[in-house]
Amino acid sequence: DAGVTQSPTHLIKTRGQHVTLRCSPISGHKSVSWYQQVLGQGPQFIFQYYEKEERGRGNFPDRFSARQFPNYSSELNVNALLLGDSALYLCASKPPTGGSGSPLHFGNGTRLTVT
């Protein structure tokens, strides 16, 4: 079975531009979460979506937004990019069964570099 897939794998943008990152969850998973991992740190929670609704948001500015589509895939959008937005952006999905303790399954991430 395919795992969580993210595209693109790498991206270079200039300050002030915007970016869209894409994620396809594992088949059957309805919950998608986004995390930002700055070099040398652990991932930080950005958003969770379930059944196309936002179910959680981390401490990130309004420049960050996301949405989930009827097929449960998701997009993360970042506007007005800053140098500090350079990071690995990870998407994770979670199975619908097993309760809230079901673990997250992560993709390989999109490496965003802002110059």
Residues 6+ apart with CB under 8 A from 36: 43, 44, 46, 60, 87, 88, 89, 90
Whether the Cβ atoms of residue 55 and residue 48 lie closer than 8 Å to each other = yes
Position 101 contacts other proteins (CB under 8 A): yes
**Binding region for other proteins (CB under 8 A) out of 19-27, 69-77, 78-86, 101-109:** 101-109
Give the one residue of 72, 85, 94, 114 binding other proteins; rule: CB under 8 A. 94
Closest Cα to residue 108, out of 43, 29, 55? 43
Q: Contact between 14 and other proteins (CB under 8 A)?
A: no
109 touches other proteins by CB under 8 A: yes
- Find the shortest distance in angstroms from Cβ 80 to other proteins: 25
